[in-house]
Amino acid sequence: MGELLLMKGNEAVGEGAIIANCRYFFGYPITPQTEILEYLARRLPEVGGAYVQAESEISAINMVFGAAAAGARVMTASSSPGISLMQEGISYIASAELPAVIVNVMRGSPGLGGIHPSQADYNQSVKCGGHGDYKLIVLAPASVQELIDFTILAFELAEQYRTPVVLFSDGMMGQMMEPVLLPEINTTPVDRPWATTGMNGRSPNIIHTLYLPADDLGNHVKQLFAKYDQIAANEKRHTQFMVEDAEIIVVSYGITSRVAKAAVEMARENGIKAGLFRPVTLWPFPDKALKKAAENAQLLIDVEISMGQMRDDVRLAINDRLPVDLYNRIGLVPTPEEIYEFIKSRAREVL
Amino acid sequence: MPKGYSRPQTLIDKPWHFCPGCNHGIIHRLCAEVIDEMGLQNQTIGVGSVGCGVFSYEYFNFDGIGPSHGRAPAVATGVKRVLPDRLVFTYQGDGDLAAIGTTEMVHSAVRGENITIIFVNNTLYGMTGGQMAPTTLMGQVTTTTPGGRSRNQAGYPFRVCEMLATMEGAAYIARGAVYNPAQVVKTKKAIKKAFATQMAGLGFSLVEVLSACPTNWGMNPIQALKFVEENMVPVFPLGEFKVTPIEAGV
């Protein structure tokens, strides 16, 4: 571990990528993501990598496809409308089984929306916004330190499973500054015998996504889903806080989970048995852990900066056994007081 | 006795899926011959396209990538930035390149991306059954211009080479055809120049090849070759539009 540094969230993602040995970045400016682009435009040449400012997010994601096919660690970043433009390319990357990291610094939407923090792209990434049967690993950090750590984790998971990984940030986390420790990791050279690097004596490597015979397509998709089953078995992650005796459990991810934790503490100080369950992987969703955490609860409250896109996954995890309320703000991160007031009012009615 | 004429090493021995009289086979072969002659089989990454050229990676005996429709130049950019010393080229038709992929094509040229595009222009979307493309000739009947392409409805044919030749990042731009042996030889030379331009690090290169589509034109192969010569060449004149002397490079 090195010294403690004060870093902005977007720059932390950039430095996390450098630490993870990512040497290629293709992107397009969009608020509130742009500092990732600016940071890597400066840093990548310093470490012998390459940065290309693409003419659109569509081109950026396809440059990612090419660089990943060529065997490189590669990343792109954008914000909600730009991530929408990347959906076709993400479907191709998933089908071609290429490792890549896609960062979404979510902003208000739909449409042009706004540039304030948002979590309204949950469905787009967790349920997969591109065409076809595929899955994406989706990681939800909640601090600038985690933006670094999870960027590194995203590369490791992408490489291990040869699959695209989405890292969720938002307009607040991208812009806020916090003290961070830059981890030192041992990067061992990765063998990518499948990469299209020029044959150099071997038989041709082909990376494609076309399977015209129905059986071939079926086998391909089934093989993808066998891999997804493995990911679901191995990679579900969450954290929880005071859930053991909790009667009300707040379920929240990313920036809102931190605010919700403060609200849960306020509730406890005021005699309400509240707890927090925070999914760290949104896909695979930590369903069994949530079901267990909710065993003694009477009410769950889903706190999000969206119209409740995660709520269906929460309800599924507990088999709809308990009511799942929604507390949300659109365009704003709720304050601890606001969430606490909601917990208090619901506690009065339900408990 | 040594054979005077044999299959290029970089062309896999398997039957084409192309229709009788289609020129894709000749153009594939020219790419393969040039790569053989330049000794680049082990250093080449081909990026295909969507359309009749979609299976190029099944015919070429080197590393290949199947990208999404129109995005081949962006994919090639990603490959080339990682592997700057390899030969990276795309093989795209006129629907793929000159319609949905216009942005990727133009901006690869804007960046002077050190890649080559082999652009096969047959004036329509062949794989989907003969719809109008940006390159369809005025008055030409396609399944989506049943009365012939008209100015009011669909504007004018898109001349890719002429536009790209205006760009500083473009190092070599040429248009050839394969309707007779002389043109085949000329087109092969253009492809070789384009690949040599890339290997010298001089920037973006593109070779357009006018190509017959007897099936969708409703002609026999001989009529179709004649159509290229008599109807396409006047709209898409053959020749070199931009040349950067290779000695000047790097």
Total number of domains in chain B = 1
| DSSP classification of residue B166 | T
Nearest-Cα distance to chain B for A24, in Å, is 8
B11 belongs to a structural domain: no
Mean pLDDT, residues A80-108: 98
Tell me which residue range forms the domain holding B100.
24-248
Helix, strand or coil for residue B189? helix
Domains A4-234 and A239-350 share a fold: yes
Nearest-Cα distance to chain B for A68, in Å, is 8
B165 belongs to a structural domain: yes
Closest CA to A105 of A163, A35, A24, A7: A35
Query: What type of residue is A79?
Result: S
Cβ neighbours of residue B186 under 8 Å, at least 6 residues apart? B176, B238
Strands A274-279 and A324-328: unpaired
B12 belongs to a structural domain: no
pLDDT interval class at A52 (50, 70, 90): very high
Tokens encoding B247: 């000695």
pLDDT of residue B124: 97
Using a CB-CB distance cutoff of 8 angstroms, which residues of chain A are in contact with residue B67?
A: 62, 65-66, 92
B147 belongs to a structural domain: yes
Is the pLDDT assigned to residue A251 strictly greater than 90?
yes
Output the domain CATH number for residue B224. 3.40.50.970
Question: Does domain A239-350 correspond to CATH entry 3.40.50.1360?
Answer: no
pLDDT of residue B1: 65
pLDDT interval class at A241 (50, 70, 90): very high
Q: What is the pLDDT of residues B138-159, one digit of tens each?
A: 999 999 999 999 999 999 999 9
Interface of B with A in 102-141 (CB under 8 A): 103-104, 106-107, 110-111
pLDDT interval class at A1 (50, 70, 90): low
Contact B67 A205 (CB under 8 A): no
Q: What is the pLDDT of residues B74-106, one digit of tens each?
A: 999 999 999 999 999 999 999 999 999 999 999
Residues of chain A with pLDDT > 70: what percent?
A: 100
Domain locations in chain A as residue ranges: 4-234, 239-350
Query: What's chain A look like in SS3?
Result: CCCEEEEEHHHHHHHHHHHCCCCEEEECCCCCCHHHHHHHHHHHHHCCCEEEECCCHHHHHHHHHHHHHCCCCEEEEECHHHHHHCHHHHHHHHHCCCCEEEEEEEECCCCCCCCCECCCCHHHHHCCCCCCCCCCEEECCCCHHHHHHHHHHHHHHHHHHCCEEEEEEEHHHHHCEEEEECCCCCCCCCCCCCCCCCCCCCCCCEECCCCCCHHHHHHHHHHHHHHHHHHHHHCCCEEEECCCCCCEEEECCHHHHHHHHHHHHHHHHCCCCEEEEEECEEECCCHHHHHHHCCCCCEEEEEECCCCCCHHHHHHHCCCCCCEEEEECCCCCCCHHHHHHHHHHHHHHHC
Tokens encoding A182: 């830059």
Contact A206 B47 (CB under 8 A): no
Q: ipTM of this predicted complex?
A: 0.97
pLDDT of residue B250: 42
Mean pLDDT, residues A337-346: 98
Q: What is the pLDDT of residues A310-334, one digit of tens each?
A: 999 999 999 999 999 999 999 999 9
Would an 8 Å CB–CB cutoff place B75 in contact with chain A?
yes
Contact A66 B42 (CB under 8 A): no
Strands A281-283 and A137-139: antiparallel
Residues of chain B with pLDDT > 90: what percent?
A: 96
B7 belongs to a structural domain: no
Q: CATH code for A4-234?
A: 3.40.50.970
Nearest-Cα distance to chain B for A49, in Å, is 8
B67 belongs to a structural domain: yes
Contact A199 B81 (CB under 8 A): no
Is the pLDDT assigned to residue B249 strictly greater than 50?
no
B195 belongs to a structural domain: yes
